[in-house]
């Protein structure tokens, strides 16, 4: 990927995250990226292609994060790492993740397949630990994650250290 393509994606990400996808034009992205609007069309086809490129980056990032979890054999480590991943996101990546959440609501874009490896890994971990309903326990933990991530990304007053310690203690990991 060229530097100009990266600049376009970064500008689109910032604008889509702050102003919303529907409210952001390719012209606005071009101005923000310091390129011509035609260059956006040349590299990404259209606004939807630009969005798809950002979504693909999101999927790649998730796969990297999940790989560290799903490759664990110790069930407690799977649960621990799944909890910690939420609290280890660097603040400079918040705009990227905020956009992922925003798109779920604004465009109703939800890719359940990208969560499947983590759900399966957590379900197996809870099963190995003898939980009575491991799949529901895994889903509950992912819903807790979703809610906490939303609160953190929206800048709500979340004591991340206390919440992290609480979850680690709750699941005895």
DSSP characters for the chain? --HHHHHHHHHHHHHHHHH-TTT--HHHHHHHHTS-HHHHHHHHSSHHHHHHHHHHHHHHHHHHHHHHHHT--SHHHHHHHHHHHHHT--GGGHHHHHHHHHHHHHS----GGGGHHHHHHHHHHHHHTT-SSHHHHHHHHHHHHHHHHHHHHTT----HHHHHHHHHHHTT-
- Asked if residue 115 has pLDDT above 90, the reply is no
Tens digits of per-residue pLDDT, 27-85? Answer: 999 999 999 999 999 999 999 999 989 888 888 888 888 888 989 999 999 999 999 99
Identify the weakest region by mean pLDDT among 17-21, 31-35, 157-161: 17-21
Average pLDDT, the chain: 90
């Amino acid at each position: 990927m060229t530097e100009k393509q990266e600049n376009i994606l970064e500008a689109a990400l910032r604008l889509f995250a702050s102003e919303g996808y529907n409210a952001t034009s390719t012209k606005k992205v071009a101005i923000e990226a310091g390129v011509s609007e035609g260059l956006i069309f040349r590299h990404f086809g259209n606004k939807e292609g630009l969005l798809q490129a950002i979504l693909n980056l999101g999927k790649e990032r998730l796969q990297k994060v999940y790989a560290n979890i799903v490759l664990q054999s110790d069930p407690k480590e799977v649960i621990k790492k799944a909890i910690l991943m939420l609290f280890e996101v660097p603040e400079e990546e918040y705009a990227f993740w905020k956009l992922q959440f925003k798109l779920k609501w604004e465009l109703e874009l939800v890719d359940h397949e990208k969560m499947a490896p983590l759900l399966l890994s957590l379900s197996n971990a809870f099963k190995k630990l003898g939980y009575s309903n491991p799949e529901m326990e895994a889903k509950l933990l992912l819903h807790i994650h979703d809610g906490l991530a939303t609160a953190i990304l929206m800048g709500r007053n979340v004591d991340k250290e206390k919440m992290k310690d609480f979850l680690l203690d709750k699941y005895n990991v």
